[in-house]
Structure 1
Amino acid sequence: MNQTTLKSDSTFHSLSALEVVTLPVLTVICALAGLPGNVVVLWLLGFCVSRNPISVYILNLATSDFLYLCCLLVFYLWEFSDYFNIAYFKYIHAVGMLLYTTGLFMLSAISVERCLAVLYPIWYRCRRPGYMSAVICALLWAMSLLLTMLLHFSCSSFFSKDELCLIMHSVIGPCLIFVFVILCGSSLTLLVRMLCSSRRLQLTRLYVTLGLTVLVFLLCGLPVGIMQVLGAIRALEIHFSTFIRLERAAFLLSSINSSANPIIYFFVGSFRQKHQQYQQRRSLKLVLQKALEDVAEGEKSGESPPQESVELSGSP
């Protein structure tokens, strides 16, 4: 074990009970609570609901959230065991950053998709390729994997110098900031079109779902990205123990973010529900469909309950 690892082990054992027990236990509880909701979303969007551009992004977002929560569980449950070795932290951390980055990319892609639908409605409905969502999702997964692998290998113990690790942090940090700016810019564009434009955008359940998801990410998911941007501090080993404490708190918030997304979908879909109660399996499917509806309440004809053949709006 090299000197860096020894210092990391010493820092880990010097953490207080708050960082060693309380924060990890809370993170594990949030992850366990969020896994079932993401599984339900994956099942419904993967096998029960007709695909459209938005549902493809939501399916990939739920996949990254589910795997990210699993990653947090593996790390902290392993840490609680007698076989934990801090030297392997970087491997789980790399997988977690891959999944977190993918989730950020997917959320940004959804916002950009809705901006295109609003700013260029004719192109979106008539010229947009039907396979574009699947291609973009594949590219975003590949980009996240590439960035994570470059960062992981440049900061591994194989390299004797920290300059390469610092360079990679200097590259990836601006990339995350750029994606975050795209997310905020597209979300603000939609908000301005709803509130201030002469041709106001009608509020639909899809925009409520997207708005709440972005808001929860800004409150709970963003801190992990900030810690990643500040990763250069960790590469230089400046205030390492403080960085670990903040990172554990950020992981707790990120577990809340990944667990809250399914709750948002089902809350928005079931809000002001006036229809009769159906069987649980059908009800969950229809609730998720309603959460992704891009139709204003005033435009719906009648009050008859939606049929199972009703598909999510927004299909090209």
Structure 2
Amino acid sequence: MAEDIYFDYNDTDEDAFNYATIGPKPPQSAKSGNIVLGVLKIIIFLLGISGNGAVIWICVLKMKKSVNSTWYLSLAVSDFIFCFFLPFDSVREFTSKWVFGLFMCKFISFIMFLNMFSSIFLLVLISVDRCVSVVFPVWSQNHRSVRAASVLVVLAWVISTLCSIPSLIFRQMKENDTCYNNWDKQTHQAVAVNRFVFGFVISLIIITVCYTIIILKLKSNRMTKSSKPFKVMTALIVTFFICWMPYHVFILIEIDHEKHHKDIFSFGIPFSVTLACANSFMNPFLYAFMGKDFKKTFRSSLFSKIANAIDEDVQTTSKGQSNTLDSKISTQI
């Protein structure tokens, strides 16, 4: 197999902003760009770990187990895992080389694509679930269950794992400090197109169709109380599109990189990847804290924790109030 080094998610070589060739050290502007990207990824790591960690804490400890909490928990776990390994890529940005060996070269790339696919597939599940609940409320009430949701989540993770396997196969090390995709052009094209079609286009179409149906249905029923969900739905779709579209566009253009100036990719790919990474810390705010009940649960639970730490007498009362609140919580957004 030809050892062609193509641009791609988390590629590394000696010239950090010239992913296509192994060459001399990058110019000062490229080094500055690497530092900026490294810092941004550290910020994403901190926000993502804290935000997704908070969502996991709320779903597991502070909310009654439900279908919606199953979706939120799975999405938060996916983003938490992604953010947890992001510092490895920050080190790559700062040092302009890969220093973690072949196993981590393969594993980190695998984790990143696992997050991409699992997040998108979970968005599809959430969209379809909400659409069915609005269009077929009686059927949904009779058949919607935590067990069914859990089965679908496991299925989404299995499919995501299978879709991420190319990273385990094709990622290789060169000269002990370069992590890259060791594949020929045809394989590269097939993988890039499949990721775009199955990991973006089809999912985006399903999400858009579902939310269009929801909005039309709710408006036809004049359900004015659902204005908040409309805003959340719009934010979810727009954010997803903004974060991931640039990456897929650059990757598709890069298939024929010989026809384009290398600067398009040397700056476009790294920043589009960082933007895609940012989606992992945005999700907790869009899916959880913008929701009325999640925000109420977080605040009440936080104050309850503070009260419990101050006084044992207050602890008993606060705990009872917290349990009462938790029992009344509906996770619908």
Identify the TM-score tier after normalising by the shorter chain: 0.7 to 0.9
Residue by residue over 1:181-226, the C-alpha shift from the partner in whole angstroms, topping out at 9 and shown as x without a partner, is 112221222222234x255574065554444333322233443344
Question: What's the counterpart of residue 224 of structure 1?
Answer: 247
Unaligned runs of 5+ in 2: 6-12, 15-19, 173-179, 307-323
| Alignment match, 2:33 | 19
The answer as to 2:333 corresponding to 1:309 is no
Aligned residue in 2 for 1:165: 188
Superposition deviation, residue 179 in structure 1: 1.2
Give per-residue Cα distances to partners, 1:143-165, cap 9 Å, x unaligned: 11101103552576896633233
Tell me if 1:262 matches 2:284.
yes
- Per the TM alignment, residue 75 of structure 1 is displaced from its structure 2 partner at its CA by 1.0
Partner of 1:109: 125
Cα distance in structure 2, aligned partners of 1:252 and 1:151: 18
Aligned to 1:291: none
Q: Amino acid of the residue matched to residue 190 of structure 1? A: I
Relative to structure 1, the CA distance from residue 21 to residue 148 in structure 2 (aligned partners, 3 Å threshold; closer, same or farther) is same
Structure 2 matches for 1:1-316, cutoff 5 A?
4=5, 7-10=20-23, 13=26, 16-81=30-95, 84-85=98-99, 91-150=107-166, 152-153=168-169, 161-176=184-199, 177-195=201-219, 197-198=220-221, 200=223, 202-203=225-226, 208-227=231-250, 232-233=255-256, 242-264=264-286, 265-269=288-292, 278=300, 280-282=302-304, 307-313=325-331
Q: 1:50 to 1:209 in 2, by over 3 A?
A: farther
* C-alpha spacing 1:58/1:118, structure 2 compared with 1 (3 Å): same
1:6-65 deviation line (CA, Å, top 9, x unaligned): 854438836724532222212322322332121111111122211111111111111111
5+ residue gaps, structure 1, are 285-305
What secondary structure is seen at the aligned counterpart in 1 of 2:213? helix
Q: CA deviation at 1:133?
A: 0.9
Determine if contact 1:155/1:165 at 8 Å carries over to the other structure. no
Could you tell me the TM-score, scaled by structure 2's length? 0.71
> Judging changes above 3 Å, is the alpha-carbon distance between structure 1 residues 68 and 230 closer, same or farther for their aligned structure 2 residues?
farther
1:302 paired residue number: none
- Cα deviation, 1:155-181, whole Å, max 9, x if unaligned, reads 768966332332233333221211121
CA 1:210–1:56 in 2, change beyond 3 Å: closer, same or farther? farther
- Identity rate, percent: 19
Compared CA separation, residues 163 and 155, structure 1 to 2 (3 A): farther
Residues 60 and 137 in structure 1, CA contact (< 8 A), matched pair in contact too: yes
CA distance in 2, matches of 1:73, 1:158: 21
How many residues end up aligned between the 2 structures?
290
Change in 2 beyond 3 A, CA 1:94/1:229: farther
Rounded to whole Å, the distance in 2 between the matches of 1:272 and 1:79 is 35
SS of the aligned residue for 2:255 comes to: helix
Distance 1:225 1:192 in 2: 30
Deviations 1:217-257 (A, max 9, x none): 223344334445556346x8965553342222123323432
Distance 1:129 1:174, change over 3 A: same
Q: Please report the TM-score for the alignment, with normalisation by the length of structure 1.
A: 0.75
